[in-house]
Amino acid sequence: MKNNNISVFNPEICRLSILLFLFFIIVGCTGKETAVHPTLIPPTNTMIANLSTKTVTPPATKSVAVLTEMVTATPTVSKPYPTDTNSYQLLGRNSIAIVGVGEDKIHLVDLDTEYIRSLPSPGYNPFQILSWDGNGCDMVILAFQSLQLPYEILRIDLEGNIIHDFSSFKQPTNIGNVTLSPSGEWIAYRVSEGSPIGGYDLVYEFENIEVISTDGESGPFRLTHHNGGREVAWSPDSTRLAFGDYDENRFTQLYISNLDGTVRSQLTQFDDPQVVIRDIQWSPDGKRIAFSYERQGNISPLQPRKTDVIILTTESGNNSFVIDENIYLVGTLWWQGNDVLVVDGYTAGSSSEANHSLFWLDSQTGRVMSELKADTAPGGYMEVTHPIDSLARLGFFTGGRFYTYDIETSIFNTWHNVNIRNDLGPFLLRNWVYAPSGFAGEASCKP
């Protein structure tokens, strides 16, 4: 089972509305653009760090990937979204599932045939797709009955029917970062209590990480000790978790523990009370962890905030690299195997598209091996980017179209024929999931 760890704090609907540029969507049929070949970049300054908030001066210049020529494919006549086709069809293997902000349905789109199925959801409102299972025949979703009622986790089939209600998980709406273990047997989540004290992501007085089994027989186990829990991520073997928590001085640190909270160890020694840990990612072999940390407050008048990326060992936290590379704002990051870390971020302290890039980092040395500038992609920018097809491709949206990018061949594929819009414009996305590589098409799910 795939594990999609995406924060799902209910008040984020307001935040997502502010960050509209992160969520515009489109899908359509295939057309190939000119290949982009990321250019190797010379070794750069990295730092073996004690994880204090030091700054490494990046090199003055560096090479970037440049799209030398771009052939624009002509789209066919688009149609509104979401719109169900008149006749029922079976989904093919090349499909995506989408949940939008303010929507009460999950929309399944077959990219090859343009078929769109908006799943009925009697008795529940989908909030987030947590996992599209390996055989592709069902999904696990986070849902609620109304905005005032607790969240629940449901397993549904591709027609929206409830297969299983994880009755062990009935939580109030003030939760976030709900994530299934890779084994599908455990649920981790952040629970917020007390009064809100502000912050970009609505921080509460007491923030803690808990784990419960999907069958309700074990837990909940509380992993945090000092009410500072925010981010959480499962190890690949589902036996441990990495998470942020306050230490005794109320400094945020990274910890790992067993799923029941035992064998807890602290991996960082931050000395800044305003540091925020985000986007924790285990390497596939479970030996290292990468994450971004954001310094709150001003670095300088021209650099109001800074995000760095850290790679450290899971056993001791030794051999920690602080990846500077002039990456000031980090959106997301993920591992491409055990040796390469991909960072989706911005340079020069600005979130303009001219400074938006994907960086491929050597995880052993911290050296940036290649960079793909987002404004050289078809459409001129990239939104909501994450890996698909066992990391062989990336998927992203560009204010109108859904694209895939083949990492080995450096070729963009454009999907034109389905225009995902509503009456107000491009559809505001909460999350999307590509059909798993083991999905042979919906026909394989039928008796």
Spatial separation of the C-alpha atoms in residues 333 and 292, rounded to whole Å? 8
pLDDT of residue 297: 56
Q: Which residues contact 220 (CB under 8 A, 6 or more apart)?
A: 210, 211, 212
Helical H runs in 56-144? none
Could you please state the CATH topology (level 3) that the domain comprising 12-445 is classified under: Methylamine Dehydrogenase; Chain H (2.130.10)
pLDDT of residue 271: 86
pLDDT of residue 136: 93
pLDDT of residue 61: 35
Question: Could you tell me the residue ranges of all domains in the chain?
Answer: 12-445
Spatial separation of the C-alpha atoms in residues 265 and 246, rounded to whole Å? 13
Helix (H, G, I), strand (E, B) or coil at 73: coil
pLDDT of residue 441: 94
pLDDT of residue 76: 33
Record the pTM.
0.76
Contact status, residue 384 vs residue 401, Cβ threshold 8 Å:
no
- Name the burial class of residue 390, with classes exposed (0-12), middle (13-18) and buried (19+) by CB atoms within 10 angstroms of its CB: exposed
Query: Which of 144-158, 172-186, 432-446 is the least confident region?
Result: 144-158
**Is the pLDDT score of 306 beyond 60?**
yes
Helix (H, G, I), strand (E, B) or coil at 16: helix
Contact status, residue 368 vs residue 62, Cβ threshold 8 Å:
yes
Spatial separation of the C-alpha atoms in residues 280 and 292, rounded to whole Å? 7
Neighbours of 177 (CB within 10 A): 22
Q: What is the DSSP string of 39-58?
A: PP------EE--S-S--PPP
Neighbours of 201 (CB within 10 A): 14
Contact status, residue 125 vs residue 149, Cβ threshold 8 Å:
no
| Mean pLDDT within 299-324 | 72
User: Using one digit for the tens of pLDDT, what is the confidence trace for 153-190?
Assistant: 889 999 999 988 887 677 766 788 889 899 889 999 99
Choice between 66 and 113, residue whose per-residue pLDDT is larger: 113
Neighbours of 216 (CB within 10 A): 13
pLDDT of residue 442: 95
User: Using one digit for the tens of pLDDT, what is the confidence trace for 62-108?
Assistant: 333 333 233 333 333 333 344 444 578 999 998 999 887 766 788 89
**Is the pLDDT score of 36 beyond 80?**
no
User: Using one digit for the tens of pLDDT, what is the confidence trace for 195-217?
Assistant: 877 665 677 789 999 999 988 78
User: Using one digit for the tens of pLDDT, what is the confidence trace for 218-273?
Assistant: 889 999 999 989 899 999 999 999 999 999 999 999 999 999 999 999 999 988 88
pLDDT of residue 216: 79
pLDDT of residue 91: 95
Spatial separation of the C-alpha atoms in residues 126 and 148, rounded to whole Å? 14
Of 125, 80, 133, nearest in space to 99 by CA:
125
Spatial separation of the C-alpha atoms in residues 266 and 435, rounded to whole Å? 37
pLDDT of residue 296: 62
Spatial separation of the C-alpha atoms in residues 80 and 398, rounded to whole Å? 17
Q: How confident is the model at residue 35 (pLDDT cuts 50, 70, 90)?
A: very low
| Mean pLDDT within 12-32 | 36
Q: How confident is the model at residue 32 (pLDDT cuts 50, 70, 90)?
A: very low
Choice between 190 and 39, residue whose per-residue pLDDT is larger: 190
Q: How confident is the model at residue 422 (pLDDT cuts 50, 70, 90)?
A: low
Work out the angle at residue 298's Cα, subtended by the Cα atoms of residues 208 and 192, and round it to the nearest 5 degrees: 15
Query: Which of 24-38, 239-253, 298-312 is the least confident region?
Result: 24-38
Percent of the chain surpassing pLDDT 70: 70
Residue indicated by tokens 């969507």:
25
**Is the pLDDT score of 347 beyond 70?**
yes
| Mean pLDDT within 317-323 | 73
